[in-house]
Amino acid sequence: MKAIVVGAGIGGLAATLSLRAAGHEVALVDRTRHFSEIGAGIQLAPNATRVLRRLGLLDTVAAHAARPARLNFRTWSDGTEICRYVIGPEVESEFGAPYLQVHRADLHQALADRVPPGSVRLNTEAVGIDQDDRRAYVTTADGERLGADLVVAADGVRSSARQWLFGPDEAVFSGTAAYRALLPAAEVADLDLPEYAGWLGPGRHVVHYWVRGGELLNLVAVFTAGAATPVGPESWTESWTARAEPGEQLREFAGWDPRVLTVLERAGQVFRYGIHTRTPLTRWHLGRVTLLGDSAHAMVPFQAQGAAQAIMDAAVLGDCLAGATPTDVPDALTRYVHRRLATATRVQAGSASAGEAYHLPDGPEADARNARMAAYGSENRFGPHAGAWGEEP
C-alpha cells in the first residue's frame, strides 16, 4: 500500500517511520528546501520514549538528551519551593521508559536519518488534497497530482489540510506568548539554578531545563500577551525566528527572582512567539485522508505533551494500518481516530487548565494552588501531569 505524508515535522517523520514499519511505501513531502536546526527544547515523557524504542531510536535520542532527576515548582518573586516531583530513574522503573529533555533539532535529525532519502520530497508544497472512492491525491504548487491509498496531513498548527477537509477553521491565539532562548552552560554556571524548574507568577511562568546532556539551558518564559510588549499580529506569530526587542523580556518579567532575571539578561538571542491552538474536532479523518499531530490537536505546551501526542498519533496510526490493504484504509482510519481523539483532546484541555493555574494572581487562589500542588507531590511523587505517561500505542 502507498501513503503520502504531508509535513516533515516530528509528527510527520514519526508517521512515516511507523507506516514503513507497518509494511507500507511512504512518500514524505514538505515545502521546506532543506532540514535545518531550528527550535529549542522538547520534553519527551515515557509515552513518547516507548514509541522511540519501538522505532529503534531511543538510544540515539537519549545519547543527546538530559535526564532530570526532579521537577521543582517555585514562586516567582523569591524562588520559594512550592513542591517537587520525581522525573528520574523512578519514572523509568514505573512507566518502563525514561523521561528525556532534548533539543528539537536532535530529535528531528534522529527521525529524519531513518527515512530513506528516496522517500523524501522537499521543496514540494501541497496546495490541495482530494480523493475518490479508490485513491487520495495531493496537488503540489508545481501542478503535480500525487496519488496514494492514504494521505496523512501532519502540516502543523496552521494546517491547510484541515480546512480542505472540514472547511474554514483558523488557528486560535491562546492569549499567551513566550520568550525562548538557549544559553551555554558556562553562561549560568555561577547561578544556583535547579536542573528543571517552573517558576509561577501572576500572568506569567518560566520554565528552564537542560538539553544536549547539560551543554545548553533551554529557557521558556511565558506571559499573558498585553500592553508591555508589541501587540500587532506580527508579534504573536508561532514563528521560531521572530526576535524580541532588546531588553523586552526583562521589562515583561520585572521584579522576578534575581536568578530568573539574570538568565533572561544573559540570553544573547531571545525569540518571541505567540502560542496558538486548534479548536477540538469530533473527527480527524475523511475517507482516505487523516490529520495527525498539531493539525488535529495543537495545544498550549504547559503539560509538555505536544510532541509526545504527535508521536503517539504516529504509533497508533501504524498499528491500525498494519497489514491493511487499500480497501481497508477508511475503516483503519476510523479505528485510529477512535483510539486517539479522546486522549489527545483530554491532554489538550489539561494543558490549557494548567496554564490558567500557573498564572493565578498572588493571594488566596495562588496559595490554594500551591497547597494542592504540595499535597499532590506528597501523595503522587510523579506530579499531576503523569496521567498520560502510561499511555500505550
Eight-class DSSP state of 245:
P
Q: pLDDT class for 239, splitting at 50, 70, 90?
A: low
Residue 293 one-letter amino acid: G
d(CA 146, CA 42): 33
Q: Judge contact between 204 and 253, C-beta under 8 A.
A: yes
Q: Judge contact between 200 and 71, C-beta under 8 A.
A: no
pLDDT for position 234: 47
The answer to whether residue 250 is domain-embedded is no
Q: 222 has which bridge partners?
A: 178, 205
Residue 136 in this model has a pLDDT that exceeds 70: yes
Residue 233 in this model has a pLDDT that exceeds 60: no
The answer to whether residue 212 is domain-embedded is no
Smallest CA-to-CA distance from 66 within 173, 211, 227 is with: 211
The answer to whether residue 196 is domain-embedded is no
Q: Known catalytic residue: 209?
A: yes
Higher pLDDT, 86 or 376: 86
Q: Which residues contact 302 (CB under 8 A, 6 or more apart)?
A: 222, 351, 352, 354, 355, 358
Question: Model pTM?
Answer: 0.95
10 Å CB burial of residue 142 (0-12, 13-18, 19+) is exposed
Q: Look at the chain and report how many structural domains it folds into.
A: 1
Residue 88 in this model has a pLDDT that exceeds 90: yes
The answer to whether residue 207 is domain-embedded is no
pLDDT for position 226: 60
Report the percentage of the chain scoring pLDDT > 90: 86
Quote the mean pLDDT of the chain: 93
The answer to whether residue 186 is domain-embedded is no
Which of these ranges, 138-142, 238-242, 258-262, 328-332, has the smallest mean pLDDT?
238-242
Domain of residue 88: give its range: 2-170+278-388
Q: Which residues contact 338 (CB under 8 A, 6 or more apart)?
A: none
d(CA 132, CA 128): 14
Q: What is the per-residue pLDDT across 241-296, written as a single tens digit (0 to 9) for each? A: 778 899 999 999 999 999 999 999 999 889 998 999 999 999 999 999 999 999 99
The answer to whether residue 145 is domain-embedded is yes
Residue 302 in this model has a pLDDT that exceeds 90: yes
Please tell me the total number of residues recorded for the chain in this structure.
Answer: 393
Residue 2 in this model has a pLDDT that exceeds 90: yes
Considering the candidates 99, 137, 179, 209, report the single residue annotated as catalytic: 209
Residue 365 in this model has a pLDDT that exceeds 90: yes
The domain that holds 153 is classified in CATH as 3.50.50.60
The answer to whether residue 23 is domain-embedded is yes
Residue 19 in this model has a pLDDT that exceeds 70: yes
Helix (H, G, I), strand (E, B) or coil at 91: helix
pLDDT for position 243: 86
Report, as an integer, the average pLDDT of 181-200: 96
Count other C-beta atoms under 10 Å from residue 170's C-beta: 11
Q: What is the per-residue pLDDT across 219-231, written as a single tens digit (0 to 9) for each? A: 999 999 864 444 4
Q: What is the per-residue pLDDT across 245-255, written as a single tens digit (0 to 9) for each? A: 999 999 999 99
